[in-house]
Amino acid sequence: ETGVTQTPRHLVMGMTNKKSLKCEQHLGHNAMYWYKQSAKKPLELMFVYNFKEQTENNSVPSRFSPECPNSSHLFLHLHTLQPEDSALYLCASSQDFKSAGANVLTFGAGSRLTVL
């Protein structure tokens, strides 16, 4: 248990469904991240929230919609996904962002998403 909890661990959805991924951390961290891990590709940073404010959006399609209601919770809302969106989605947190403290990320175990 790393201190970052992701649910669900596995999700299968059709292209027309709407679902959400949830991430929770109780480490007292102020920055939270969504990463996408696809086979044979480097981890891709999707979104960063620092003190509940979105600071990074790396050209992610609008069918992915993040939400950070507080520093401990992060959601990734999914709608009208494509089969190529199937991947492992990893949540991470760090002390803060845009400082050396941002470097050391604590990751969750990921949510394995399959889009049919």
Give me the residues that bind other proteins (CB under 8 A), please.
2, 4, 40-43, 45, 48, 56, 88, 90, 92, 97-100, 102-110, 112
Nearer to other proteins, 37 or 80 (CB): 37
* Cα torsion angle, 72, 36, 49, 107, sign: positive
Phi, psi of 102 (to 5 degrees): -75, -20
Which residue, among 83, 105, 87, 107, has the nearest Cα to 36 in the 3D structure?
87
In whole angstroms, what is the distance from residue 103 CA to residue 94 CA?
7
Q: In terms of CB distance, is 48 or 68 closer to other proteins?
A: 48
Cβ nearer to other proteins, comparing 14 with 54 = 54
Q: C-beta of 39: minimal distance to other proteins in Å?
A: 10
13 near 21, Cβ under 8 Å? no
Minimal distance in Å, beta carbon 76 to other proteins? 16
**CB of 25: closest distance to other proteins in angstroms?**
12
